[in-house]
Amino acid sequence: MGEDDLRGPRDCGRDGGPPEGAARGHRAGGIFQELRTFCGGAYKHGAEAAHFGMLVQSLEHLARSALALAQSQKIFILGSSSILASFPELGEEGLLDNTFDADFLLDPVTKGISDFLKEAIGEGSLFEKERGYHADILHPSIVETLPPGWEGRLVAVAGFDNVFALEPLDLAVVKIVVGREKDLALVRGLLELGKISAEDLRKRWSSMPLGELEMFHSGRNLALIVEGSGSR
The answer on 226 and 128 residing in a single domain is no
Residue 227: CB atoms within 10 Å: 11
Residues 6+ apart with CB under 8 A from 52: 91, 92, 94, 96, 97
The answer on 198 and 160 residing in a single domain is no
- What Rg, from alpha-carbon coordinates, does the chain have? 19
pLDDT by position in tens, the chain (length 232): 433 333 333 334 333 333 333 332 333 334 434 444 444 443 444 444 445 689 999 999 999 999 999 988 899 999 999 999 999 999 999 999 899 999 999 999 999 999 999 999 999 999 999 999 999 999 999 999 999 999 999 999 999 999 999 999 999 999 999 999 999 999 999 999 999 999 999 999 999 999 999 999 999 999 999 998 777 6
Contact by Cβ (8 Å): 100, 132: yes
Q: Which residues pair with 165 in a beta bridge?
A: 77, 155
The answer on 202 and 131 residing in a single domain is no
The answer on 115 and 24 residing in a single domain is yes
Last residue of a domain, one of 166, 194, 224: 166
What total of structural domains would you count in the chain?
2
The answer on 232 and 146 residing in a single domain is no
Report pLDDT digits (tens) over 41-79.
Answer: 434 444 444 456 899 999 999 999 999 999 888 999 999
Last residue of a domain, one of 113, 147, 166: 166
The answer on 162 and 88 residing in a single domain is yes
The answer on 173 and 148 residing in a single domain is no
Cα distances from 95 to residues 15, 32, 189, 220, in angstroms, run 37, 35, 7, 23
The answer on 70 and 175 residing in a single domain is no
The answer on 174 and 85 residing in a single domain is no
The answer on 105 and 197 residing in a single domain is no
The answer on 124 and 46 residing in a single domain is yes
* SS3 of residue 166 by DSSP: coil
Last residue of a domain, one of 140, 166, 192: 166
The answer on 226 and 153 residing in a single domain is no
**36: containing domain:** 3-166
